[in-house]
């Protein structure tokens, strides 16, 4: 029987961050994942999505001792541009820039490829003597009591932990083992994620183009072989994504250039296309005896406004603040009730907000698309509304 303060179930980007953060705070940590992380871009199964870390998340990455490793690879996001191309033709008919300079001296956030995050996070864990990362081994059984959790791993190892952090994804085996229900919303929608190069420099502008089916988003990346480059997330209804994913490259490039309204010139595909199902999901509680749910184990949102992993880092910040405030109380009923209280309302509000934005972006009826454009124009034109929306998006204030 191995004893540890914290058992992190899941070694995705969220689980690796949790392990680094609790390790940096001096807790002993074991992190397990049955699927070893893929840490090279070209390797089979690498995660080609990128994550835009917003300002509060960068502070947490600094606290976890991760930021120094990540910063050299990050692209700053200074402006968020929202373009409406919802007219009869796929052309821009309105464009609104939200500039971080209106609310802060810093950019909104910093964008990094997920495969590179895994590489740097795994390297960071290897430096920490109090963190034991066990790729290739999963959580197989969970039994909790008032004073501890007993975890059986897939290789038969038994662990006694004061706290289990469930970061094992949207189908979280730990969440299922402790019986926390979820509420799931399906949109019949999927996302294509890939990277492109283009002629027009992105100028650190992240651009979301709305027409129908969901947003087409270009997020700045460092130059690729001397050419400006962006990560793309293209959301559409499922059958349309299947059609796009199967197109020959030249036809796909023509379609994505048209869908981007030609804003960055012709787009050239530089990675494979990966497909991601889109849902919203919220767990009914963020905790159970000796268990805290974080990240997609607790909440899933469509990729709009870079909220998903940023909310997850918010979970970890709340949990770590409580753990550091009274370390002897780690995993207690009192601590976990406080965690639930700190996070659940905020999480539900954000999931509801992103659900509404996604539905607005999906509309195909012309009259509704025109209404969407007028609503954005109205919000944008009132400066206090605009700046409070920006603060709410960053997680440093509330809308309204």
Taking residues 220 to 239 in sequence order and writing x for each that binds ligand FAD by CB under 6 A, - otherwise, the string is -------------x------
- Using CB under 6 A, which of 13, 85, 316, 320 touches ligand FAD? 13
Concatenate the DSSP letters of all residues of 96-116 into one string: EEEEGGGT-SS-SEEEEEHHH
Q: Is the Cβ of residue 108 or residue 332 nearer to ligand FAD in the bound state? A: 108
Long-range contacts of 69-73 (CB under 8 A, 24+ apart): 69/120, 69/123, 69/124, 70/110, 70/112, 70/117, 70/120, 71/110, 73/112, 73/113, 73/116, 73/120, 73/222
Selected from 107, 138, 220, 314, the binder of ligand FAD by CB under 6 A is 138
- Tokens for 95, please give them: 């464009």
Out of 34, 86, 215, 314, name the contact with ligand FAD by CB under 6 A. Answer: 34
Question: Is residue 33 a contact residue for ligand FAD (CB under 6 A)?
Answer: yes
Q: Is residue 308 within the footprint of ligand FAD (CB under 6 A)?
A: yes
Residue number, nearest CB to ligand FAD? 12
CB of 296 to ligand FAD, least distance (A): 3
> x-or-dash pattern for ligand FAD, window 40-79, by CB under 6 A?
---------xxxx---------------------------
Closest CB to ligand FAD among residues 94, 154: 154
Give the per-residue contact string, 170-189, with ligand FAD (x = CB under 6 A; - = no).
---x----------------
What one-character DSSP code corresponds to residue 71? G
**Angle of helix 366-381 versus helix 333-362 axis, rounded to 10:** 120
Strand bridging mode 149-153 / 75-77: unpaired
Question: By CB under 6 A, which span of 58-66, 308-316, 368-376, 378-386 interacts with ligand FAD?
Answer: 308-316
Residue 191 in contact with ligand FAD, rule: CB under 6 A: yes
**Looking at beta carbons only, is 302 or 332 nearer to ligand FAD?**
302
Question: Does position 32 bind ligand FAD by CB under 6 A?
Answer: yes
Nearer to ligand FAD, 221 or 338 (CB): 221
Interface with ligand FAD by CB under 6 A: which range of 87-95, 127-135, 157-165, 167-175? 167-175
CA distance 108 to 106: 7
| Element (DSSP H or E) covering residue 235 | strand 227-237
Of 177 and 373, CB closest to ligand FAD: 177
Secondary structure element (H or E) that encloses residue 176, with its range:
helix 173-178
Q: 293-315 burial, b for 16+ CB within 10 Å, e for fewer?
A: bbbbbbbbbbbbbbbbbbbbbbb
CB of 102 to ligand FAD, least distance (A): 21
Could you tell me which stretch among 28-36, 118-126, 377-385, 386-394 binds ligand FAD (CB under 6 A)? 28-36
Distances (CA, A) of 397 to 138, 346, 385: 38, 11, 12
Contact 93, 84 (CB under 8 A): yes
Q: How far is CA 377 from CA 84, 148, 172, 311, 366, in A?
A: 10, 54, 40, 27, 17
What does the alpha-carbon distance between residue 24 and residue 22 come to, in Å, rounded to a whole number? 5
Residues in the chain: 400
Is residue 296 part of the contact set for ligand FAD (CB under 6 A)? yes
Name the burial class of residue 225, with classes exposed (0-12), middle (13-18) and buried (19+) by CB atoms within 10 angstroms of its CB. exposed
Q: How many residues bind ligand FAD (CB under 6 A)?
A: 34
- Return the structure tokens found at 55: 């300002």
User: In the window 247-276, what residues touch ligand FAD (CB under 6 A)?
Assistant: 276
Question: Any contact of residue 11 with ligand FAD (CB under 6 A)?
Answer: yes
Question: How would DSSP label each residue in 313-372?
Answer: HHHHHHHHHHHHH-GGGTT-HHHHHHHHHHHHHHHHHHHHHHHHHHHHHH--SHHHHHHH
- Options 6, 163, 286, 309; binder of ligand FAD; rule CB under 6 A: 309
Decide whether 276 or 379 has the Cβ nearer to ligand FAD: 276
- Quote the tokens at residue 186: 């399906």
**Residue closer to ligand FAD (CB basis): 93 or 134:** 134
- Among 327, 303, 299, which residue's Cα sits nearest to residue 314? 299
Closest distance to ligand FAD from the beta carbon of 33 (Å): 4
Q: Does 281 participate in binding ligand FAD (rule CB under 6 A)?
A: no
Q: How far is the CB of 142 from ligand FAD (least distance, A)?
A: 10
Positions that interact with ligand FAD (CB under 6 A) = 9-15, 32-35, 49-52, 138-139, 167-169, 173, 191, 193, 233, 276, 295-296, 303, 306-310, 312
């Amino acid at each position: 029987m191995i004893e540890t303060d914290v058992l992190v179930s899941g070694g995705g980007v969220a689980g690796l961050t949790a392990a680094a953060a609790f390790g940096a705070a001096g807790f002993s940590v074991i992190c397990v994942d049955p699927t070893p992380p893929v840490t090279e871009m070209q390797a089979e199964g690498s995660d080609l999505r990128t994550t835009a870390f917003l300002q509060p998340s960068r502070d947490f990455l600094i606290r976890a001792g991760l930021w120094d490793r990540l910063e050299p690879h990050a692209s700053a996001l200074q402006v968020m541009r929202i373009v409406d191309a919802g007219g009869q033709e796929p052309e821009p008919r309105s464009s609104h820039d939200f500039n971080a300079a209106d609310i802060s001296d810093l950019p909104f956030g910093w964008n990094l490829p997920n495969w590179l995050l895994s590489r740097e996070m795994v390297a960071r864990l290897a430096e920490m003597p109090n963190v034991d990362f066990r790729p290739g081994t999963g959580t197989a059984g969970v039994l909790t009591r008032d004073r501890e959790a007993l975890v059986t791993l897939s290789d038969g190892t038994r662990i006694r932990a004061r706290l289990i952090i469930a970061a094992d994804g949207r189908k979280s085996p730990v969440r299922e083992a402790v019986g926390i229900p979820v509420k799931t919303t399906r949109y019949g929608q999927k996302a294509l994620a890939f990277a492109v190069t283009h002629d027009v420099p992105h100028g650190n502008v992240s651009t979301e183009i709305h027409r129908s089916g969901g947003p087409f988003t270009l997020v700045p990346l460092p130059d690729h072989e001397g050419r400006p480059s962006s990560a793309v997330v293209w959301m559409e209804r499922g059958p349309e994504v299947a059609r796009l994913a199967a197109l020959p490259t030249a036809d796909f490039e023509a379609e994505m250039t048209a869908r981007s309204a030609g804003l960055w010139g012709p787009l050239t595909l530089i990675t494979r296309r990966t497909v991601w199902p889109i849902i919203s999901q919220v767990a009914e509680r963020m905790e159970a005896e000796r268990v805290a749910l974080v990240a997609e184990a607790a909440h899933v949102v469509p990729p709009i406004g870079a909220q998903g992993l940023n909310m997850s880092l918010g979970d970890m910040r709340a949990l770590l603040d409580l753990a550091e405030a009274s370390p002897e109380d780690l995993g207690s009923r009192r601590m976990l009730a406080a965690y639930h209280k700190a996070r659940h309302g905020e999480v539900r509000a954000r999931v509801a907000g992103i659900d509404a934005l996604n539905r607005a972006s999906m509309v195909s009826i012309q009259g509704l698309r025109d209404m969407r454009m007028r609503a954005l124009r109205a919000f944008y034109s009132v400066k206090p509304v605009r700046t409070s929306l920006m603060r709410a998006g960053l997680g440093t204030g509330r809308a309204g």
